[in-house]
Amino acid sequence: MKLNSRRGTAFLDPAGRSWDWKFIPKDAPFGGQDKFSHGWCELDERVVHRADLVLVMGEDERDLLKWCTAVTFALQTKPWLREVDLWKSFVNVDLEFPEGLEPFWLE
């Protein structure tokens, strides 16, 4: 949380000491939202996941590279710390490829 926005989350305890939250508590107004929540609506249109399988879609190769990079970074950092295995990945496939898969993989 930025220093100039902490005023609303600072408080005094009974001993007169000043405290402020480094993060907004979840029960505070808008506490469930974070600074990244504005980008997830666009990400929801391009990323589909099931357990540890992730499908990233793009309009063209350049757009796909951008979104794959963002998703890979998000998966490999905290709190998820997942490993992306390119040996088990299908990169830059057309729409016909997932349509030709067995229905089990598309559930």
62 and 89 fall within a common domain = yes
Q: How many domains does the chain divide into?
A: 2
pLDDT category at 38 given cuts 50, 70, 90 is: very low
| Mean pLDDT along residues 58-63 | 88
Global confidence as pTM? 0.50
> pLDDT value at position 26?
63
| Mean pLDDT along residues 6-27 | 73
3-state DSSP call for residue 28?
Answer: coil
26 and 62 fall within a common domain = no
The three-state DSSP-derived secondary structure of 52-101 is CEEEECCCCHHHHHHHHHHHHHHHHCCCCCCCCCHHHCCCCCCCHHHHCC
51 and 99 fall within a common domain = yes
60 and 84 fall within a common domain = yes
> pLDDT value at position 50?
76
Q: How many CB atoms lie within 10 A of CB 16?
A: 6
* Mean pLDDT across the chain: 74
Instruction: Reply yes or no: is the peptide bond before residue 25 cis, omega within 30 of 0.
Output: no
101 and 57 fall within a common domain = yes
